Structures are given as C-alpha cells and as structure tokens.
A = this chain, B = another copy of it.
C-alpha cells in the first residue's frame, strides 16, 4: 500500500449550503480510483443568477477523470443531494446506488431525461455493503428530514471513513429509522480514520429536538382553530406530512394534499413502504364538500415560491379553494436565508385576507433536520475519528465546526470546495478549480460566461438599441435610430427619451469624420459613448447599449 493515499474532495456543498458533491479516492496520487457521493443542485435568485433555472457544481474535474469513477452513491433524496444526477449522469457514466426511497425519487428524475430505471440500483442498508473498486460502501440509516437518509460507511485498504450525510440525532423520528446509537457504536468500534460531517446547524447551541415533539403542539393549535387550516412544509419531509395529517385527523379534520411535489413524495413513500398508516386523504376536487372547520390542507410552498400552492392560495382561489377571514395558515418550516422576502410577501397577503399566520418563531411547530452543536459533538464522540472534516456548510460553518473539533482535541480540517484532503494525514494535499454552472432554459452555461452578468447589467441600467444604416459610400442613410427598454420615457428635458438620444446621435454622426464612418468599431464606440453620455445627462444613468450598423453593399 505504500505510495497509495485516501483522498477527499468537495466539488460542491463545502462553501455553501446546497449543490452537494463529494469525491473520495484511493490509490497512487493522480491515479486514485474514485467514488462520488451525491450530485445536488442549488437554487438561483434575482440578485446573483436571474433567469437561471438551476445551479450545479462545476464537475469538470470529475468529467476529466471519468474512467476512474467506480460508482455514484446518493445519501438521500433532497434536491441539494440528488437534483443534478440526471443532468450529469451521462457525463460520468458510473453505476448509481441508493436506498429504495431515494432510488424511487432518483429514478423519476432519470426517467424525465429518458434514462431507464436500472441506471439507479437499490441497495439494502448497513450491514450490507456495495463494492466499488477499492471501496466497500454501506448505507447506514441516520435520522434527517426525509425518509431513508443514510450516512455512508466507506471501507478502504487504508481504513474506514464515515460520511454522515445530512443528519440529526433523533430517537423518535415519526417516519423511518431512529438514530441507532448501538449501530453507530459498532461501526466506530474498529477505529475510524475520518468523519466527514454535516455542519449546517453548528451555530445552534442548544440540543436538537425530536420530530415527535411537534405533533402535540400542532394538535393544540388545530383544536383552537375555527376556520379552515392550511399548513405548509417541505414536501420531502414525509415525517412532517404524517405529523401534520395525524394532528389534523385527531383534531377532527379531513386532510387534502395540495401541490405536485407533495403528491409525488407521498406516492414515493407509499410505493417504497416507507410511509404506512397515513391518514386517508380527500381528493382536492372533493374538498369543497367538506365544511371549512373540518378541513385541513397540507400544501407546498413553505419558502414562498411564487408558483407553489401556498402562494396561489395567498393570491386567490386555487383548485376552487379560497382562504377566508378566520382561517389559519401554519408554516411548519423554517425560512431558508434568502427566501425571507417571498415568505413575508405571502404572510402579508394572508393577513390582508384576515387569515392568522403562524410561523416557526415560537419553536413549537417545526424542528430542524440537522444536528445542532451538542449533537455534532455527540457524533464526534460516538465515531471517535482521528480527523473531522466538516462539510455541508458555508465557509463560516465549516470553519467554526473545524475549530470546535480542534477545541475538543480532535484534528479538525477546514476543507472548502476544491481543497483535496489526504484523510490519513489529515491535511490538504492538493487544490482543484471548482465553481458553478447554470442550467438556463435547456442549456448549461458557466457562471462566469458573462451571460448572467449581462442580464444583471440590463436589469440595473436598462438597454438602448442604436441602429444606423450606411450606404455603399459610407454615407449615413437617414438618422440613427434609438429603441429603449427598461428606461424612463422622459427625463430632464421632458421630451421623449429616444428622441433626445437620437438628437445627440444625429449630431455625433453629422460631426463624424469619414474615417470614423468607414470604421465599424470606431463608429460603434462613438455611438455608444454618445448615447451613454446623453442618457446620463437626461435621466442620470448610463444604459447598456447595443449598436447595429447596417451597411448596404
């Protein structure tokens, strides 16, 4: 084994919360055989990525080493772990392994792209394992906010590594497997070289609460409710859906599920046997037959997404159902940072309709799916690794988590995206270029291609199109013409903006020397500058400018 090493590399997820993609390698340097853990997405926003549909990690490094990839393992079915799989699978061409529920969701995604179901292979949980080159990998059940989440137990010729995946320590998770202390003790028994560990909640100083504490609180709330109740949570949080539905049932309400994602998730959970004993559900089209005070909708859109059911209800009728004065809307969810505006928007829309809105600020109606600081330390103590590598966090989470591990006498290694770590040495051994790519419509573009930069510029500055026709003798035919978009119609002079700009351009063309008129670049630059200066004077801003010179020939 001399000369061989065991490496870890985050291509995504260690520098943001989202787009998780981790790589493990074993072998001689630069010849390691590789496994990929998770292929997730993150979501665009107007500030940084307007018009973009999805954000992927840049996996160029992996594509260039395609022949060294033994397998892809998916820890759980959240979008930030599985959302990019179908988009990248052809580029990587390795078998995909997951547990049944995760595979069910992954297969739906593969199917949409025209790939067959057997691209994703179902594996039973630990102690069963899957060989992948020099790796032997087991899915160890761990509690989180979606069914069948798994930590990975990764055995290599250089020893064992534990990759927690997303997790919390929950003895009573309502749906799926409780945190199994005995199993993890046994996994740790022979010694673990490195723990690659979720960092999401490292700033939460109190111990985490169990999913089972939520139901009784929600039931109390429902018993006091007079009108219709609408509750939202992440569709993938199947345990919460069950918690909500059962609380509703106990409070004498009929349950209606609303939103495509919600129905898809419940379907997958039932198909895979994960979800049993879910209260019977009334189809949306029959909801109107149920008296409002006996009705509970469970809907998508906990993050205020404009097209989700919650936002639709906030705006007006949806599937014939309308909220009214005296109804109750419950966010059984946390607002992800960055989504505040959308969530607050629908809160106020509901308020305008007289609906009481309850959010998670009391801490009673939602619990996190991630381990808080004391629980992270508990996990370190169970696994007793030589090295702790924090993952699944922004830089500040990773840094704080690494320092936390070090403060307890373990070796905490700060390893953001692109920092390759030798897991036996417990230190960085290489640096890899990482980044993001965008799915934009049907095209994958690089984050730095300038496409999105141009969109942001048009959004900030508006856009002017200047057209000028020039004849065979380099003489302008008529005046330059301006079209504006995203700019005020009039400015300082109170005349139409386009007319003001055209006047300036006309003067520029009149004064322009023959040499300039004959030279597209010089003419374009002159026209651009004239428009920008005239606009600055007239409306106080310099727009983006497209100049089109049509030369007759």
Residues 386-399 of A, flagged 1 when their CB comes within 8 A of B and 0 if not, give 00000000111001
- Would you call A440 and B352 a contact (CB within 8 A)? no
Q: State the CA gap A31–B279 with chains docked (Å).
A: 62
**Cβ contacts under 8 Å, A261 to chain B:** none
**Cβ contacts under 8 Å, A483 to chain B:** 465, 546, 548
A348 at the interface (CB under 8 A from B): yes
**Cβ contacts under 8 Å, A460 to chain B:** 50-51, 455
Task: Pick the contact of A491: B394, B443, B465 (CB < 8 A).
Answer: B443
**Cβ contacts under 8 Å, A350 to chain B:** 396
Q: Can you name the residue of chain B whose Cβ is closest to the Cβ of A45? A: B341
- Would you call B46 and A459 a contact (CB within 8 A)? yes
A317 at the interface (CB under 8 A from B): no
- Would you call B462 and A552 a contact (CB within 8 A)? no
**Cβ contacts under 8 Å, A399 to chain B:** 351, 354
- Would you call B51 and A348 a contact (CB within 8 A)? no
Task: Pick the contact of A452: B486, B489, B536 (CB < 8 A).
Answer: B486
CB distance from A322 to the nearest CB of B (A): 18
Decide: A395 near B539, CB < 8 A? Known: A460-B50, A463-B463, A488-B443: no
Decide: A462 near B51, CB < 8 A? Known: A341-B337, A539-B441: yes
- Would you call B357 and A396 a contact (CB within 8 A)? yes
- Would you call B461 and A458 a contact (CB within 8 A)? no
- Would you call A337 and B348 a contact (CB within 8 A)? no
Q: Can you name the residue of chain B whose Cβ is closest to the Cβ of A536? A: B441
- Would you call A443 and B550 a contact (CB within 8 A)? no
CB distance from A18 to the nearest CB of B (A): 13
Q: Can you name the residue of chain B whose Cβ is closest to the Cβ of A354? A: B399
Could you tell me which residues of chain A, from 458 to 488, have a CB within 8 Å of some CB in chain B? 458-463, 465, 467, 469, 477-478, 481, 483, 485-488
Question: Quick one: copies of this chain in the complex?
Answer: 2
- Would you call B396 and A348 a contact (CB within 8 A)? yes
A492 at the interface (CB under 8 A from B): yes
Q: State the CA gap A440–B449 with chains docked (Å).
A: 28
Residues 323-358 of A, flagged 1 when their CB comes within 8 A of B and 0 if not, give 000000000000001101100100110111010010
Q: Which 7 pairs of residues, A with B, have the shortest CB-CB distance? A: A442-B540, A441-B540, A441-B541, A459-B459, A455-B486, A50-B459, A351-B396
Q: State the CA gap A442–B539 with chains docked (Å).
A: 5
Task: Pick the contact of A451: B357, B486, B536 (CB < 8 A).
Answer: B486
A203 at the interface (CB under 8 A from B): yes
Q: State the CA gap A337–B340 with chains docked (Å).
A: 6
Q: Can you name the residue of chain B whose Cβ is closest to the Cβ of A203? A: B361
- Would you call A394 and B344 a contact (CB within 8 A)? yes
- Would you call A455 and B465 a contact (CB within 8 A)? no
- Would you call B458 and A548 a contact (CB within 8 A)? no
**Cβ contacts under 8 Å, A395 to chain B:** 348, 351-352
Q: Can you name the residue of chain B whose Cβ is closest to the Cβ of A440? A: B488
Q: State the CA gap A416–B351 with chains docked (Å).
A: 11
**Cβ contacts under 8 Å, A544 to chain B:** 485
CB distance from A245 to the nearest CB of B (A): 27
**Cβ contacts under 8 Å, A51 to chain B:** 459-462, 486, 541
- Would you call A485 and B546 a contact (CB within 8 A)? yes
Residues 290-332 of A, flagged 1 when their CB comes within 8 A of B and 0 if not, give 0000000000000000000000000000000000000000000
A454 at the interface (CB under 8 A from B): yes
Given contacts A340-B340, A442-B541, A467-B548, 11 further A-B contacts (CB under 8 A): A50-B456, A51-B462, A347-B396, A352-B395, A442-B492, A443-B491, A452-B486, A455-B459, A465-B483, A465-B546, A481-B548
**Cβ contacts under 8 Å, A492 to chain B:** 442-443
- Would you call B462 and A455 a contact (CB within 8 A)? yes
A445 at the interface (CB under 8 A from B): yes
Task: Pick the contact of A458: B394, B445, B463, B540 (CB < 8 A).
Answer: B463
**Cβ contacts under 8 Å, A224 to chain B:** none
Residues 33-54 of A, flagged 1 when their CB comes within 8 A of B and 0 if not, give 0000000000001111011000
